[in-house]
Amino acid sequence: MEGMKSMERQLERKREAEPVRRSQAIERWWQRLEEARRQAQTLPRVVKFEDRPWVQNAQTFVKNYTGRTGLAGRLTRLPINNLDLNEQIIAPGSKSGKHRHYTEALFFIIEGEGYEMHDEVKYPWKAGDIMGVPTYCIHQHFNPTDTPARFFFCIPNVFEAMGIGTVEQIELHENYRPPEGAQTLYGPSGEVTGYKTPEGNEFRFGAVDLELQKVMEGKKGRSPGGEPRNTYDLDIRTLEEEVQWRMSVPHVVKGDERPWEDTRMGRIKYLVHPTLTSGLRLFEAYIQELPPGGSSGRHRHVGEEVHKILEGSGYDIHDGTRWDWEAEDLVCIPVNTVHQHFNTDPHRPARFLSVQSRLYRYMGHGGVEHLEDTPTWGP
């Protein structure tokens, strides 16, 4: 009997303590959230082109704006959570490394002309276009001209957290040089399979999951045919539909074929949007033009946004704080920031590429809260 009472007292103490533990856990969660917000407020919103060096990777030479050291590492550089932001240059008469990954990628062609090979299909591009690499597509960039080609490109960085952040490196770019002190890695037959840097980072190339490749090309896993008879049959059908989608959607959006629209936010040319068919599902992108001495509308939205300044000079107002920018700068707009753009040149327009993550839209946080019309807007 005494043992039963002792057990009841223990259970009662546990019930009394449990709300305290939950409260402490919630308090720690809020403290971490507030710390992240305070840290974001201290980070730069504008990054100068010359402040990021060109560095070699397995594909070509890149400028990396956000870093690839996990969320905590990225948030020491820029107030951007779910986009990796880079520039890439392809030398005249050269090509990038060949690879694939589960991550889709958006490339805006800043300068140059060339073509892609995506799963052995050729897609030409030129300056002003957006080239989209659908998920798990073998791709390689080619510059057959005598001038450099340069891209601004974005990759969603959620794939690593989802367990599918790996890269299958099939071929290194032709000018690749192993880092000083790198250890060469060999396969069972003595073939070179990759390198290990002095810091301990490894990358390997030449290995492709051929069985998965057959699935992604629709050569395996086909449905039994006919109309789906149950919910599981619908899931089998979905794989076929995904394969067909990757093969049929446009991989290059021609910038000179997209119309300009006069909107409450300003003059905009939409390149990637849910209403437009492309090989990209996780991005929205447009070009915006500010007239000489003019300004955009003012709004905010949950989703993060980044701008690559293509021409001109001016400034942004973010939650009451001014951030000056000029051509080639990268401007970062964090979550839920009230923002407006101004062109300080009284004689020439300013233009920038805007890229946003569509993940917020899928999570129920799409759309904008419009606060002020651009001065050029009228009935």
- The answer for residues whose C-beta is within 8 angstroms of residue 377's C-beta and 6 or more apart is 262, 263, 264, 297
> In whole angstroms, what is the distance from residue 154 CA to residue 78 CA?
14
> In whole angstroms, what is the distance from residue 90 CA to residue 174 CA?
11
- The answer for residues whose C-beta is within 8 angstroms of residue 39's C-beta and 6 or more apart is 75, 76
Q: Is 330 helix (H, G, I), strand (E, B) or coil?
A: strand
The answer to whether 108 and 361 have CB atoms below 8 angstroms apart is: no
Q: What is the pLDDT along the chain (379 residues), one digit of tens a residue?
A: 555 566 666 656 655 555 555 577 778 777 777 776 777 778 899 999 999 999 888 899 999 998 655 556 666 788 888 899 999 999 999 999 999 998 999 999 999 999 999 999 999 999 999 999 999 899 999 999 999 999 999 998 888 788 888 888 888 888 887 777 888 888 788 777 777 877 776 766 766 676 677 666 666 556 666 788 899 988 888 888 888 898 899 999 999 999 999 999 999 999 999 999 999 999 999 999 999 999 999 999 999 999 999 999 999 999 999 999 999 999 999 999 999 999 999 999 999 999 999 999 999 999 999 999 999 998 6
> In whole angstroms, what is the distance from residue 182 CA to residue 195 CA?
6
Task: Please give the pLDDT value at position 116.
Answer: 97
Please give the C-alpha separations between residue 278 and each of 22, 87, 274, 331, in angstroms, as whole numbers. Answer: 46, 21, 9, 25
Lookup result for tokens 């001109």 = 312
122-138 burial, b at 16+ Cβ within 10 Å, e below that, comes to ebebbbbbbbbbbbbbb
> In whole angstroms, what is the distance from residue 49 CA to residue 308 CA?
10
Q: What is the DSSP string of 232-274?
A: HHHHHHHHHHHHHHHHHS-SEE-GGGSPPEEETTEEEEEEE-T
Q: Is 18 helix (H, G, I), strand (E, B) or coil?
A: helix
CA-closest candidate to residue 371, choices 293, 286, 265: 265
